[in-house]
Amino acid sequence: MPELPEVEVVRAGLERHVAGRVITSVDVLHPRAIRRHVPGADDFAGRLAGVKITAARRRGKYLWLDLADGEAMLAHLGMSGQMLVQPASAPDEKHLRVRVRFADAGPELRFVDQRTFGGLALDELVDVDGTLVPASVAHVGRDPMDPLFDLAAAVAALRGKRTEVKRALLDQTLVSGIGNIYADEALWRARLHGTRPTERLTRAQGELVLTAATEVMADALGAGGTSFDALYVNVNGESGYFERSLAVYGRAGEPCRRCGALIRREAFTNRSSYFCPRCQRRPRRSPMAR
């Protein structure tokens, strides 16, 4: 699923192409695309007609459009959701789910979703620590690229967990935006194994891994994100190319870019973890754990 850099690439494109424009009509072409909007398709389309989009915003992996009426249009990209800006004359995409037209008769905003795991919904904006976010996103922690992100507080929360460090990095209530790819990349940069218990992290190690996560996501953002297939694209349908710079993720059996040892892959929940067995030593189990 898209992580912070991929979502930020989409957000920046939406800010550039749809912020400041007034919606005239919305066509919901597949009911699953607005299943999170409980009142249904007619309500969704009716409430958006005549409303101005004021900004495109993001927290972690969560993306939304601020509306002039005080609401937000929340976009769940899921595994294959795309927010595309297309000329009205462009042929409909095979998996087009929602079309948004604007008063200026310019390019349309299209939500395309092959697997229909994503969707759009209207949500109220609420104040969370001085920042307006959709109510359904209120539980999500700030991400490392947020100007108000508190590194010291995040490190303390990380060390206060009783879990493995990779699981903690994926906890969106703790620090948002980090997914499976960038967790593995950050742990490699910090020379930490993902199974290290968080309570055994030093403050310096906590700062190191969160700083590494920030840096690797910034690097990915500069490359347009990580695209493993044609489903991960920006608003113009272009793929990112950070895959070429990944140090461990997806590189099982290939040499570590730092020490030359072969990268290993292990099952992790219903996904995979990639690490260097030499740079990222597996922690010893404590006597109590044994």
CA angle 59, 223, 137 (to 5 degrees): 10
Calpha distance 182→172 (Å, rounded) = 13
CB 75 within 8 A of CB 65: yes
Query: Any idea which residue has 């409303």 for tokens?
Result: 51
Which residues belong to the active site?
Answer: 2-3, 61, 271
- Residues in the chain, how many? 290
b/e burial code for range 89-110 (CB count within 10 A of at least 16 → b): eeeebebbbbbbbbeeeebbbb
Structure-derived torsion over alpha carbons of residues 257, 79, 139, 63, reported in degrees to the nearest 10: 90
**Dihedral (CA of 161, 165, 166, 172) sign:** positive
